[in-house]
A and B are shown apart, each in its own frame.
Chain A
Amino acid sequence: MAHFTKATSLHDWLNQRLGIDTVRRVMATEYWIPKNINFLWAMGMVLAITFGLLLISGIFLLMYYQPNVATAFDSVNYTIMQEVGYGWLWRHIHGVAASVVFLIIYIHMFTGIYYGSYKKGREMIWLSGMLLFVAFSAEAFSGYMLPWGQMSYWAGMVITNLFAGGSLHADGLVEWIRGDYVPAQAFLNRFFMLHVLLIPLAILGLIGLHFGALRIPHVNNQDGEEIDFEAEAAKYKAGDKANSKVIAFVNDFMSKDMMVVGIYLIFFFYLVFYHYDFAMDPVNFDPANGLKTPAHIYPEWYFLWSYEILRPFSTDVGLIAFAFAQVIFFALPFLDKSPNAVPASRRGLFKFWFWAMLIDMIILTAMGKVPPEGLFSTIGLYAALTFIGLWIALPFITKFEKKV
């Protein structure tokens, strides 16, 4: 057993038992981050803050939400929105944050792709990040079911139908997922459980893994420079902060993070109070009605690109393309054969690959929402083929990339 002495202060008392000084040093004051970074490196903190907003607003909503097909809609739109003090505020924060969190996730992902932050020992950061993306997607989908409006119901119908596997006709699997022939009480209850317990638990665990995965390879920097963290840290600790290439997580990096967070929150709360409609589809303010299919069924904007990869093809081909789109980003570190972990601008053909992928996904996103008719179908088809083609081309164009 360790030796304990009479504590001289509360700090000392805690330090003897929890080693708080060591924790602080390891996690904060001597956790080294490269100095050569821009505001895109703050997206992790922006995501953490947004997740915090989702968690806290979600806890308040959970106190009044009723997971029952007869009362769910009114518990959201009447009880929470009109009866409970500030219930409307929690709901608008929750709804807007659920949408904005995906904007930040996409910025965070494309930052990683642009700067090559998934290579040379950083593969686990990328993979754990992709697992987080999947978990957030499941969380967003299950949450969307809960108000039990028209779009909840019909999106639930369409997405669970995908599990029939087209020609496989695995209708038994679909019924097993729904707990009924159509989305009904069992369906709502299980998605409620997933949304408020199982998936949030998974997200918390994955966030831990994602942070842990950063520790050994360290955070990348703006120029893909390989930094000798020990030597630079020694310089910093010796007092030569100006010439050291690293900074401490707290306060140096944190102060920059909080500056970005502050500006981000202005944007976020502007949306919450003055422009919340984009995140809360009007169609979902009609109560669920299994006998009345809405004229247009579309997912929230962040799922549109993968939805559009499903749509232009025949059922079976579409499902295969859709499955491909869901998993292919996981393979990025292994399909990129180039040893260069530098910004895309210095990587020859990959530079064009990056911008083509970004623009193609924006086109897919737009075409995923408009009605699949005429010119839109054609554009959607070519954009989906381009998406698949870009991934097939990736190993070839990166294999012949010149070493920088």
Chain B
Amino acid sequence: MKELFILAVVTVFTLLTYYLVEPFAHSQMHKHVESEGFAYKDLPALTKKGDAARGKDLVMGAGACAGCHGIEVEGMPAPMDPVTAAQSYGVNPPDLSNAGAVFDPKFLAALIKNPAHALMVEHKFDANKGQMHPMTSFYGAGGDLDQEVADMVAYLQSIAPKAEELTPKMAFETACGRCHAIHYPYVKDGEAHPAWTQIGEKPTFKKKQDALAFETKVLDYQDALTKYMGTLPPDLSMYIRSRGEHYIKTFVENPQNYLKGTAMPRVGVSAESAEKIIEHLEDVGDSKRHMREEIGKNVMIYIIIFAIFAILWKKEVWKELH
């Protein structure tokens, strides 16, 4: 009985100290932000039902999207290589093949109408001061603006892969990969994936000249990006450990929550895509998590059996000591 009392005292003081230096101290150091579940409540809901065929005409025609964006699934490559594009616009405009699957439809509509507003970078791009966002607003092709935008969104959704076809890697590349590198290669489902740079996967080269030429392109791209963003966006290899899931999600949902005035835009991913991006960050930064859970179970069983034998041994030895 006395020993249990002593154990209780030790446990209480240990847990008290733990509570104070971990949950309590961190609540004092970091602002807690609740997720809105990627609802983007500040953006207006889509009221019109879009027509993909009309949307296609707008995207290819009056919308002039293809002037800057490639649409690989439609056989349309990007008009410029990534480095030239970044030197022209600051960042390489995304290929639109997956946009309808990765981004929230409400966000896409708002983006087409007013990019700086949807991206939450109006503090950086103020049209009244002549600071134009590199993506121009779509003011309509003569008809009902809301209907036209809904049509364009419907078109993007019609060419995009289905939710189950969109891999975590695709979600990451479309939403994050033109600004953020991940320099850790990783293996998933037996398939090896090379490191990711802002201009794509890092290929293996036979000749050093080719490797250096690629490296130069990456550095040129990063220079343009740094000029555009103010600083080079960080490599995300270990972000799942350094920031954790909750921070990443709430930050991506609204970067201004944590860093008022940051140049990082709200990227407008859907809730499902956010999950996939997290999964991708886990694949590269915490690739052994499944093994850890598996082995953890077995080790716990083994140790509990060990403890039972240890207790039995003690009882046996101490029988004649009492």
Contact = CB atoms under 8 A, between A and B. Distances in A.
Interface string A73-86: 01001100110000
A285 interface: yes
B18 interface: yes
Contact of B321 (A89, A241, A282, A304): A241
Contact of B310 (A261, A284, A295): A261
Q: Determine chain B's interface SS by DSSP, over half rule.
A: helix
Contact of A242 (B285, B309, B321): B321
A48 interface: no
B139 interface: no
Nearest to A250: B317
A370 B29 contact: yes
Contacts, number: 131
Interface size class of A (residues with CB under 8 A): 35 or more
B314 A273 contact: no
Interface size class of B (residues with CB under 8 A): 35 or more
Interface stretch (A210-218, A310-318, A361-369): A361-369
Interface string A99-140: 000010001000000000000000000000000000000000
Given A82-B288, A265-B303, A266-B307, A256 B21 contact: no
A287 B292 CA distance: 24
A81 B292 CA distance: 11
A286 B311 contact: no
Contact of B3 (A39, A283, A285): A39
A283 B238 CA distance: 11
19 contacts: A35-B321, A38-B3, A40-B10, A88-B292, A92-B292, A242-B320, A259-B307, A259-B310, A262-B311, A266-B300, A273-B300, A278-B18, A285-B241, A301-B21, A362-B17, A365-B17, A366-B20, A369-B29, A370-B29
Interface of A: 35, 38-40, 74, 77-78, 81-82, 88-89, 92, 103, 107, 241-242, 247, 251-252, 255-256, 258-259, 261-263, 265-266, 269-270, 272-274, 278, 280, 282-287, 295-296, 301, 304, 358, 362, 365-366, 369-371, 376
Interface of B: 2-3, 6-7, 10, 13-14, 16-18, 20-22, 24-25, 28-29, 184, 186, 237-238, 241-244, 285, 287-288, 291-293, 295-296, 299-300, 303-304, 306-311, 313-314, 316-318, 320-322
